[in-house]
Amino acid sequence: MTAEGRAARSVTAPLRGKVAIVTGGASGLGRATALALAEAGAEVVVADLDAEGGREVADIVGGHFRACDVSDLDANRALVDFAVEHCGGVDIAFLNAGVSTGCGVGDDFDLVRYRRAMGANLDGVVFGTHAVLPALRARGGGSIVATASLAGLASVPLDPLYGANKHAVVGLARSLGPALAPDAIRFNAVCPGYAESRIIDPLRGMLSEQGMPVIPAEVVADTVLRIVTGDGAGECWFIQPGREPEPFRFRNVPGPGQPAYS
């Protein structure tokens, strides 16, 4: 995309002048969201371990690429430093990088796979948030969206460790939302069902046999854009075929000072 084209498009773009970081941006949900954020006027920094795919996406959106292992705290800090140096700051962080576990907690437990999944799915969100907060505060606020999953709202017997990772991201979003709101930083999560990404590659046969539709990555990207341009905080937006994406309502959850329910 030429500089002239981006300037013309950004006249009415809601994210004109904003800088966005997208982790896991080389493919799937990250790629689609990087394109959507750029289309909305943002300058995008694409981060991924897949250098070839990440650079391709960065070229398409007229943005930047930075290799990043999100499970490494220093790598997250370096990513934010790169965005500040090359783009002037950060306004939006889509913390999307993630993997499936490929193991359970019984005889199939694999410590390497477990650590890899925890590193990408949970540490990547925690480390990414920690790293980007100073940059967001320097801009007077901003938006963080983390990719959780419908697996963070429901049980996942086929991959309980993945479910645990994503439940943790949901809990983080619900807790950090109100905690960061006084700093004008909005933290939310997106919780898609089976969506077009590399994670579902091992499941495609099963999904096809059961007639379960796969959510287009663009639907998730559009939802992320709605969250970023909205005013919610601490929300977890579910995305399922045949339903309009919206924040999940955690009804009747007993808490401190609240009566129990039956």
Catalytic residue among 114, 162, 194, 261: 162
| 120-156 per-residue burial string, b: 16 or more CB within 10 A, e: under 16 | bbbbbbbbbbebbbebbeebeebbbbbbbbbbbbeeb
Decide if 114 is catalytic.
no
Using CA atoms, how far apart are residues 78 and 131, in angstroms rounded to an integer? 9
Identify any residues that bridge with 143 across adjacent strands, giving them in sequence order. 92, 186
| CA pair distance 62, 56, nearest whole angstrom | 10
Distance CA(204)–CA(160), nearest Å, equals 19
What is the rounded distance in angstroms from the CA atom of residue 206 to the CA atom of residue 195?
A: 14
Half-sphere exposure of residue 127: CA atoms within 13 angstroms, side-chain side: 22
CA 177 to chain centre: 15
Distance separating alpha carbons of residues 38 and 184, to the nearest angstrom: 23
User: Per the structure block, which two tokens stand in for 74?
Assistant: 């220093």
Q: Which residues does 163 contact at the CB level (< 8 Å), separation at least 6?
A: 151, 152, 154, 155, 156
Provide the 10 A C-beta neighbour count for residue 38: 26
Instruction: Note whether 70 and 120 are within 8 A (CB).
Output: yes
Active site residues: 162
